[in-house]
Amino acid sequence: MSSKELKLIIGLGVTGLSCLRYLSRQTHAVAVTDSREDPPGLAEARREFPNVKIVTGGFSPELIHEASEIIVSPGVALTHPLLLDAKARGVPIIGDIELFARAATAPIIAITGSNGKSTVTTLVGLMAEKAGLNVKVGGNLGTPVLEFLKEAEPDCYVLELSSFQLDTTYSLKAAASVVLNVTPDHMDRYDSFEDYLKSKQHIYEGCQQAVINLDEPQIWQDLKFDHVPLGFSIKPNHPAENLFSLVEEGQQFFFCFKQEKLLPVDEMKLKGKHNWQNALAALALGSAINLPMPAMLEVLKEFPGLPHRCQWVVNIQGVDWFNDSKGTNVGATQSALMGLGALLKGKKIILIAGGQGKNADFSVLNPEIKNYVKQVVLLGEDAPLLAETWRNIAPLTQVSSLAEAVNKAAELASSGDSVLLSPACASLDMFKNYEDRGEQFVVLVKDL
């Protein structure tokens, strides 16, 4: 095969490995390069594809020069000089979602946003299943999408897409798309908040039914849609048409469509206003593909939430412990503090935070910390930065391990208080991923 046809995969994590398997099935000439010495997919790739050239310990300039198309993993910044150079030479740079979008034929529900993606993706997947559809759920949530193409096409796909994945996607024409919300995240990868927002907006390109958050016009007000969008809003009694929203009656809030009541919000297992937003977005996406309303409402009543998202762990001597390890940005931690804060009845939160801060502005959390937090226990790479930001906002303690953080929090909490692990940071400085951080936390807490 001539080198002109070489497809080069950059990154050998779960995405890179799925790309390698997919492209090999298509009998393309493939090679792989990863900046890490020993990337997670290396052993499997070598075993499954002994003849494929794999260069690790730095991106191979030779392979990048030879490549006719480059498939970049989401963890790799597109601003790497070798990638900028390839782009300048006109080499297409795409990602796994692009390969998937070119090949998949079943309708795709595409979900992005700064927070709530996994919750909404899971809800919509369950709703489709409840309605009797054969559905595949994946993307940033876990299963890399190309793995789905090994099997027969389902009735529909429900995909969680990160901004990194959207940056390398051009052919996605989703049946329904949503940007749930946009608050600053990944400021280590984007030049500005506007760039991050633009990346999220790509999800609407070519989509049949846009679902929009009416409470955040900055996301959609400059965009043109082929069809009238379906909106959602958590502002009660919103006057707009074509809208999933809330009505307030007496002391009670109801989910509603065009002011028609669907379900009292208290009947949903998920708690907190941010989950009202998630539920409304899921209802709007489900109705965009004509899922029956009773099946969707059943799912809202049953779904207990995903682990590591403000998950109650245990009560020890009157203190509730919560695992919000998926709180990996400021917006998520803000919603966790607001959600728990509203239930405190005069008591306080011991917040365990810190990790890789991704250049975020942590002062955004000052009001919630002032209102609800008794003491912050800080750990991880950017603990000193967080300490600097919050030094006049709340008492702070810095620790060097999660075990120390848990012991310190136990010491500080008195009956009625809550301890919340919601780091507002990525976990990769000390843990394999956010699940690992959450699982270690739960074990340590249960050992107390």
Out of 21, 130, 200, 326, which residue is the one contacting ligand ADP (CB under 6 A)? Answer: 326
Is there binding between residue 356 and ligand ADP (CB under 6 A)? no
Query: Hey, is 420 helix, strand or coil?
Result: strand
Is there binding between residue 35 and ligand UMA (CB under 6 A)? yes
Question: Taking Cα atoms as reference points, which of 162, 108, 97, 111 lies closest to residue 282?
Answer: 111
The CA-based diameter of the chain, rounded to the nearest angstrom, is 72
Out of 140, 168, 213, 397, which residue is the one contacting ligand UMA (CB under 6 A)? Answer: 140
Annotated catalytic sites, by residue? Answer: 117, 140, 186
What is each CA distance from 379 to 207, 236, 295, 388, in whole angstroms?
42, 39, 43, 13
Is there binding between residue 34 and ligand UMA (CB under 6 A)? yes
16 vs 184, beta carbon nearer ligand UMA: 16
Output the CA torsion 197→98→112→203 (10° steps). 60
Q: Which amino acid is at 134?
A: N
| Site mask for ligand ADP (CB under 6 A), range 229-268, x = bound | ----------------------------------------
Is there binding between residue 142 and ligand UMA (CB under 6 A)? yes
| Site mask for ligand ADP (CB under 6 A), range 263-302, x = bound | -----------x--xx------------------------
| Site mask for ligand ADP (CB under 6 A), range 154-193, x = bound | --------------------------xx------------
Q: Which amino acid is at 277?
A: Q
Is there binding between residue 115 and ligand ADP (CB under 6 A)? yes
- Count the neighbouring beta carbons within 10 Å of the beta carbon of residue 1: 9
Cβ pair 259, 241 in contact under 8 A: no
54 vs 279, beta carbon nearer ligand ADP: 279
Judged by CB under 6 A, which stretch of 48-56, 112-120, 391-399, 404-412 contacts ligand ADP? 112-120
Q: How far is the CB of 74 from ligand UMA (least distance, A)?
A: 3
DSSP one-letter string for 332-394:
HHHHHHHHHHTT-TT--EEEEE-SB-TT--GGGGHHHHHHHEEEEEE-STTHHHHHHHHTTTS
Beta-sheet pairing, 252-257 with 311-316: unpaired
Cβ pair 444, 350 in contact under 8 A: no
- Count the neighbouring beta carbons within 10 Å of the beta carbon of residue 40: 16
For the segment 371-410, give every residue that binds ligand ADP (CB under 6 A): none
Q: Which residue has the tokens 């779904």?
A: 303
Is there binding between residue 144 and ligand UMA (CB under 6 A)? yes
Is there binding between residue 36 and ligand UMA (CB under 6 A)? yes
- Residues near ligand UMA (CB under 6 A) are 11, 13-16, 34-36, 73-76, 139-140, 142, 144, 162, 164, 328, 428
- Residues near ligand ADP (CB under 6 A) are 113, 115-119, 180-181, 274, 277-278, 309-310, 324, 326-327, 331-332, 335-336
